[in-house]
Chain A
Amino acid sequence: KQEVTQIPAALSVPEGENLVLNCSFTDSAIYNLQWFRQDPGKGLTSLLLIQSSQREQTSGRLNASLDKSSGRSTLYIAASQPGDSATYLCAVKKTSGSRLTFGEGTQLTVNP
């Protein structure tokens, strides 16, 4: 059974810092990994999608990497801003089926 773990559970940083969020998964037979952002009481916003054959994806200040063999992904946020404050979730999709297995999320607070 696939298990996804995110560390840390919560993170508080001053504005302008670069930071790294971690995601690990137990079953390396994944098709892709997706990072999401969730604001309180809201739905999920897709940030980055990495296919299993890719090593990284970039969008603006965000960079996500994937090491499938070791079961790890990182989300790097450069020059953090207060507007980045949210919960960040990673989810993996197995090679069979379409269901996503989510981690518990990292709650990020960026202080002005």
Chain B
Amino acid sequence: KAGVTQTPRYLIKTRGQQVTLSCSPISGHRSVSWYQQTPGQGLQFLFEYFSETQRNKGNFPGRFSGRQFSNSRSEMNVSTLELGDSALYLCASRVGQGLSDTEAFFGQGTRLTVV
């Protein structure tokens, strides 16, 4: 059974550019969440999607956005990149959403470097 797949694994972008990251959840999982990991702030929740709808959003500026497709694959987009956006972006996959779901499985992450 394939795990959570994130692409690309590494990205280098210039300040002001935009970037799109992709996450394919485990087959049969319908909930996808995104997290940002930095040395200073640790792991912080960005947003969660279930059935193509954003269900939860963390405390990040509007430059961070996402979407989910009918096959449960998700993308997140960061516009007008800043140096502080350099981080490891992690995607988590769950079977369902809310009280009925259980264990979260994470992908290998996308390492974004903004120069």
Contacts and interface: CB of A to CB of B under 8 A. Distances in A.
Contacts, number: 64
A102 B42 contact: yes
Interface string B66-98: 000000000000000000000010101010011
Contact of A43 (B48, B50, B55, B108): B108
Contacts of B109: 42-43
Contacts of B56: 97-99
Interface string A99-110: 111111100000
A54 to B, nearest CB: 12
Interface residues of B, number: 30
- From DSSP, what is the main secondary structure of chain A's interface residues? strand
B47 to A, nearest CB: 9
B43 to A, nearest CB: 4
Contacts of B94: 98
Interface residues of A, number: 25
B19 to A, nearest CB: 19
A99 B107 contact: no
Given A89-B43, A102-B42, A102-B43, A46 B108 contact: no
Interface of B: 4, 6, 31, 33, 35, 42-43, 45, 48, 50, 55-56, 58, 88, 90, 92, 94, 97-99, 101-109, 111
25 contacts: A31-B99, A34-B103, A34-B104, A41-B88, A43-B108, A45-B106, A46-B103, A46-B104, A89-B43, A91-B43, A91-B104, A97-B55, A97-B56, A98-B50, A98-B94, A98-B101, A99-B33, A99-B56, A100-B35, A100-B92, A100-B104, A101-B45, A102-B43, A103-B42, A104-B42
